[in-house]
Amino acid sequence: MRKKYKYLKDINFPSDLKNFSSSQLKILAEEVRAEMIDAVSETGGHLGAGLGVVELTVALHHIFNTPNDKLIWDVGHQTYPHKILTGRKDRIRTLRKGNGLSGFTKRSESEYDPFGAAHSSTSISSALGIAVAHKLSNKSDNVIAVIGDGAMSAGMAYEAMNNAGASKTKMIVILNDNDMSIAKPVGAMRSYLAKILSGKIYFSFRETIKLIISAFSKRFSKKAGKAEDFLRSAVTGGTLFNSLGFYYIGPIDGHDMDSLTSVLKNAKEINFNGPIMVHIKTAKGKGYKFAENSKDKYHGVSKFNVNTGVQEKSISPALPYTKVFANTLIKHAEKDSKIIGITAAMPSGTGMDIFGQKFPSRMFDVGIAEQHAVTFAGGLATEGYKPYAAIYSTFLQRAYDQVVHDIAIQSLPVRFAIDRAGLVGADGPTHAGSFDITFLATLPNFIVMAASDESELVKMINTSVDINDKPSAFRYPRGNGIGVELPNINEKLEIGKGRVIKEGKNVALINFGARLNECLIARENLSKKGINITIVDARFAKPLDEKLIWQVANDHNAVITIEEGSVGGFGSHVAQLLNEKNLLDNNLKYRSMFLPDRFIDHDKPDIMYKYAGLDSSNIENKILDTINSKVVVKKSN
């Protein structure tokens, strides 16, 4: 900690704030907010979401007995205040750095993180699982899930609520409503009513009325029940949650510490045989004017000046891959009215915000609903449109069944723009694009491409526009390109054809994706040792350029593939081809380089790739080891 705080300096764990008065909790909340702003200004990361839940975080740890009571945060980017209060404040400036704190909840990091989360809409499901486990084990500990209104756009949240209501299991779900305006703005009267509706007196009266009603006719009982539902929905807007079996409380002001502590205490003590929904209204970016005034409320930020709010900018002269994608798609859409842009709650992250500014009626942000995004794109494709589903590799995993069943089997020409391919740095393993090559290239009817630089990305987008009989995908990494000149939108690739970049004699490196520059560095270094290397840019994992691979395998003693993906991807397809052609029995040394069979923690991307064995020095070592290894020739019987 840098600043002198009245209370925070002495808070190491939630137990230290149990005896705080309301006025002390308010001061502590402001200190937590100040510490978070100061820390994130140095580390970068997610800012706005955490600022919005500072009072809630303080109130939760004051009222509940964590870590015995299980507190589960959805997504996890709102948990920086939670980390400050749960034994990690002295490490908060290591956020998202190598060997530092994760930007999300992580079970191995703290006992106060009962469930890891970095993707959205998992909190209610995991909380219900924990609550049922407690019920089966006769434990009385509380289970609390905090979910944002954005995460409520995902179907998984409703599946979980439906199951929770039917299970009659006690748990508390806190709906943090900060953007979608699920309910009207709250005022003093609404906070007052929420306190009443969550209190023991109202709850006891409500249960007493139910007992009285049950003694009369079913007809009267139904009418009375409808009257209560109407009255409660008129006051609170909780009809949806009531119908799912939740006892609904709210909405209340999520920045009013008195209301929060009162309602949370009541929710904790209510003897209700089922789940409870506490609906709070908060402001994303609360307490930091630059975040409050920002369109995205400073959702994700680089390092910034606390006094001015100005963020550090990249000094790279090259355009980010995301912007190259957006700009190229716009050029095509200007000529082709059938091109549609689709994103799943990541318009700025995928460049679809730029596309949407140009074509507002042809860009669809479907919310955190990747499954829907994919099938929605499939529906558009059946009507002759050309949908581009721009989805991060790690988020596309959530829609794999739809990719298989709704797109691949029907051979629908949906174009998948797969951003954040490969390792992504500070967001760590939950956001790494590690598996898309493997899970897409294994599907019939798919064309799978990977861009080695931003020029190749433009050509792949150009090529995809004319693929009208099957699905296609092109992947590209996070960050800036390498600064090469971009081609015009008429330059296209021949489907399934790679290219030779450099010719040599000893070893052939077949690259798939953005490791090409590292291959070139390795080649240059080894040429000084008299080792001549051929470098091929495969461009396609499916269909493979069988002719080129066969030629390369016949002309060299050794072939090495390299990709930014897991085992089972490009290298596995090449190995299968070589095996079918009997080239592996013909004194050919074959090796493949891919992401290791483990999850790689967050760090700077170059460090992560070195750890993964995919940087230039590791490529050099792999080449030398391959050259010096002996060939095991299979003997025929």
Of residues 31, 370, 454, 456, which has the active-site annotation?
370
Interval 300-353: pLDDT, tens: 888 989 998 898 887 778 999 999 999 999 999 999 999 999 999 999 999 999
- Least confident range of 60-69, 246-255, 480-489, 528-537: 246-255
Q: Flag whether 636 is in a domain.
A: no
Query: Average pLDDT, stretch 80-109?
Result: 94
Q: Express each pLDDT in 182-239 by its tens digit.
A: 555 556 655 665 666 677 666 665 665 565 555 555 555 555 555 544 444 444 456 7
pLDDT > 70? residue 631: no
Catalytic-role residue among 190, 195, 284, 415: 284
In this structure, what are the phi and psi dihedrals at residue 390, rounded to the nearest 5 degrees?
-90, 105
Query: Is residue 633, in this structure, part of any structural domain at all?
Result: no
Q: Residue 596, preceding bond cis, omega within 30 degrees? A: no
Residues 218 and 281 in one domain: yes
Flag whether 202 is in a domain: yes
What is the tally of structural domains in the chain? 3
Q: What is the DSSP string of 138-171?
A: T----EEEEEETTGGGSHHHHHHHHHHHHHT--E
Identity at 223, one-letter amino acid code: K
The whole-number average pLDDT for the span 130-147 is 95
Assess whether 55 carries a catalytic annotation.
no
User: Looking at the structure, do residues 297 and 363 belong to the same domain, yes or no?
Assistant: no
Is residue 420 flagged as an active site residue? no
Residues 68 and 148 occupy one common structural domain: yes
- The CA distance from 224 to 556, in Å, is 84
* pTM of the full structure: 0.88
Average pLDDT, the chain: 90
341 contacts 390 by C-beta, under 8 angstroms = yes
Q: Active-site residue 135, yes or no?
A: no
Is the pLDDT at 42 greater than 50, yes or no? yes
CA 338 to CA 332: how far, in whole Å?
Answer: 10
pLDDT above 70 as % of the chain: 89
Residue that terminates a domain, selected from 301, 331, 361? 301
Residue 338 lies in a domain: yes
Q: Map residue 35 onto helix, strand or coil.
A: helix
What's the pLDDT tens digit per position in 595-605?
999 999 999 99
pLDDT (mean) for 365-380: 96
Report the distance separating Cα 157 and Cα 38, nearest Å.
33
Only one residue has tokens 């074509």, namely 359
Are 251 and 107 found together in one domain? Answer: yes
Decide if pLDDT at 132 tops 70.
Answer: yes
Least-confidence region, from 5-14, 237-246, 557-566, 626-635: 626-635
| Sequence-separated (6 or more) residues with CB below 8 Å from residue 526 | 533, 620, 623, 624
Instruction: Tell how far CA 351 is from the center of its chain.
Output: 16
- Domain final residue pick, 427, 459, 475: 475
Q: What is the pLDDT of residue 90?
A: 94
For residue 367, is it left (φ>0), alpha (ψ between -120 and 50) or beta? left
Bridge partners (DSSP) of residue 275 are: 171
- Determine the average pLDDT of the residues in 561-571: 97
User: Among 68-72, 164-168, 621-625, 631-635, whose mean pLDDT is lowest?
Assistant: 631-635
Rounded-to-10 torsion of CA 386, 390, 396, 401 = -10
Neighbours of 506 (CB within 10 A): 16
Residue 236: per-residue pLDDT: 46
Locate 306 and state its tokens: 């606390």
Instruction: Output the pLDDT for position 152.
Output: 86
Residue 306 covered by a domain: no
What is the domain extent for residue 425?
321-475
pLDDT in tens, 573-611: 999 999 998 888 778 999 999 999 999 999 999 999 999
pLDDT at residue 546 in the model: 97
pLDDT at 181 over 50: no
Q: For residue 364, what are its two tokens?
A: 């669809």
CATH of the domain at 142: 3.40.50.970
State the pLDDT confidence band at 271, using cuts at 50, 70 and 90.
Answer: confident
Q: Indicate which residue of 386, 398, 420, 542 is catalytic.
A: 398
Cis peptide before 251 (omega within 30 of 0): yes
Please, which pLDDT band fits residue 241 given cuts at 50, 70 and 90?
confident
Same domain, 377 and 462: yes
Strand ranges (E), 362-405: 363-365, 386-392
Which range is least confidently modeled, 92-101, 372-381, 452-461?
92-101
Whether residue 587 lies inside any domain: the answer is yes
> How far is residue 544's CA from residue 564's CA, in Å, rounded to a whole number?
17
Task: Mark which of 301, 336, 361 sits at the end of a domain.
Answer: 301
pLDDT number for residue 232: 47
Which of these, 248, 303, 306, lies nearest to 280 by C-alpha position?
248
Burial profile 574-601: b = 16 or more Cβ within 10 angstroms, e = fewer: bbebbeebebbeeebbbbbbbbeeeebe
Question: Do both 122 and 262 map to the same domain?
Answer: yes
